[in-house]
Amino acid sequence: MKKIVIIGAGGQIPTVLIPLLQKLDVKLTLFGRNAASLPYTNVDKISGDAHNLDELVKVIAKQDIVYMDFDNKEVTKLVVEAMHKTGVKRIIQAGVLGVYGEVAQPFASWNNQMMGGNIVHNRGIEVLETSDLDYTYMRMTWLYNGTNKQYVASPKGEPFLGAQITRRAIAQFVIDNIVGKRNDACASIGLWEPGSENQAKPTFY
Give the pLDDT of residue 113: 92
User: What residues form DSSP beta bridges with 187?
Assistant: 136
Residue 117 pLDDT more than 70? no
Query: Taking all residues of the chain, what is their mean pLDDT, rounded to a whole number?
Result: 96
Residue 118 pLDDT more than 80? no
204, 169 Cβ separation under 8 angstroms? no
DSSP 178: H
Q: What is the pTM assigned to this prediction?
A: 0.97
Mean pLDDT of 138-143: 98
Q: What is the dihedral of CA 157, 161, 166, 167, to 10 degrees?
A: 30
Residue 149 pLDDT more than 90? yes
Give the pLDDT of residue 185: 96
Angle of helix 53-60 relative to helix 73-86, nearest 10 degrees, comes to 50
Band of pLDDT at residue 175, cut at 50, 70 and 90: very high
Band of pLDDT at residue 122, cut at 50, 70 and 90: confident
Tell me the per-residue pLDDT of 13-66, one tens digit each, with 9 for 90 and over: 999 999 999 999 999 999 999 999 999 999 999 999 999 999 999 999 999 999
Question: What are the structural domains, with CATH classification, of the chain?
Answer: 2-192 (3.40.50.720)
Band of pLDDT at residue 158, cut at 50, 70 and 90: very high
Per residue in 32-47, is it b (16+ CB within 10 Å) or e — as a string? Answer: beebeebebeebebbb
What's the distance, Cα to Cα, between the start and end of the chain in Å? 41
Band of pLDDT at residue 121, cut at 50, 70 and 90: confident
- How many CB atoms neighbour CB 194 within 10 A? 12
Tell me the per-residue pLDDT of 68-102, one tens digit each, with 9 for 90 and over: 999 999 999 999 999 999 999 999 999 999 999 99
Give the pLDDT of residue 120: 79
Mean pLDDT of 113-141: 92
